[in-house]
Amino acid sequence: MKFGLFNLMGYRDNPRGVAGVVEDTRSMVLLAEDIGFDVAWFAEHHFTNYSVSVSPLMVAAHMAGCTRSIKLGAAVVVLPLYEPMRVAQEIALLDQLSGGRAVLGVGTGYQAYEFERYGQDVARKAEVFLEYWQVLAQALGEGFVDFHGQYVSVPPTPMTLGTRRGGLPPLYCTSSAPQILAALAPWNPTPFMTAGWRGTPVLLQMVAHMREQCSKAGLDGAQIPVALQQYVHVTDSPAEALEAAERARYVGRMVAALRSPALVLEGSMVQAPPLENEPPLETFRDNLIIGPASYVAERIAAEIRAVQPTHYNAFFQFGDLPIARARRSLERFGSEVLPLLEREFGTLA
């Protein structure tokens, strides 16, 4: 099993503004590489402070010039918002620029606010994704595209640019829709599973549901690889634990607001009211993996035993958490949590 660092790159109150979010992300990626994380992931969202990572491929390309060995991934390319021939070349270019370190996550997206501003219909996201994926797969997998569909047509086109090793980079996805899982099946995709602030119980339910969906798609749900995603904060301070929980609650409120047709913005800043039937802050803390190193290791170990994931992806700087605190948590994860996990499971990545 391998560990990944997930970078949402949200902006809330960073004293250096958007530039500070970028600098903080670079700092966390370099630290994760030093610790030995396998991959750094970069989100994709548009037009609000939920994330300033509007192009995960651009961010990954920048990080390629700052790092040496850590893999760099888009989590995810929201495929319906792209021109598929262009994004296929950009994925290949990232792989070339990074020396073959590109990892690819793809998804359909979910925020109607983003889709509307790209002139797209979020209700058709799955069918558009499936067509665009065929173009992407031809371009990167075969080096030649000839495709005619409802949403895109491409005349016969040979591709100059491909990945270092040929074919697609290692593939991850966010969808559990049977038709999408079936379309991606030849490339052995690893689904991302995240429950946000709702924590482990809901995360395990989501994994079970995804495996059922795999079975409906004709895949072996019991054997499909899984990438878990969790909020993690290592601290011995009860006060800092609650502060981290408040940051996670802020992200959860934003997600709910962005899913709502009644989105309210102040400028580009999401105005996120409390969740419906919102629990107390202590529930957020307890649902997420927040606490001393031994507690964090115990919680992660329990999820590893239950799911047997191939990849464990951690959010460390969620909700624009101050960088000093996020770095300290990540440092302690490397020096204190990983040794405890390796004591039980052997060498992890």
pLDDT of residue 322 exceeding 80: yes
Q: What is the pLDDT of residues 29-62, one digit of tens each?
A: 999 999 999 999 999 999 999 999 999 999 999 9
Q: Which CATH superfamily is domain 2-344 in?
A: Luciferase-like domain (3.20.20.30)
Nearest to 278 by CA among 299, 263, 256, 297: 256
Supply 294's token pair: 């031994």
pLDDT of residue 348 exceeding 80: no
Q: What is the pLDDT of residues 104-120, one digit of tens each?
A: 999 999 999 999 999 99
* CA pair distance 1, 23, nearest whole angstrom: 29
* CA pair distance 95, 93, nearest whole angstrom: 5
Q: Other C-beta atoms within 10 Å of 207: how many?
A: 23
Question: Are the C-beta atoms of 38 and 71 separated by less than 8 Å?
Answer: yes
Supply 267's token pair: 């400028």
Q: Is the peptide bond before 76 cis (omega within 30 degrees of 0)?
A: yes
pLDDT at 349: 56
Q: What is the pLDDT of residues 207-238, one digit of tens each?
A: 999 999 888 888 888 889 999 999 999 999 99
pLDDT at 314: 98
* CA pair distance 46, 41, nearest whole angstrom: 17
* CA pair distance 115, 109, nearest whole angstrom: 8
Mean pLDDT, rounded, of the chain: 96
**What does the domain layout of the chain look like in residue ranges?**
2-344
- Residues in contact with 276: Cβ distance below 8 Å, sequence separation at least 6, in sequence order: 256
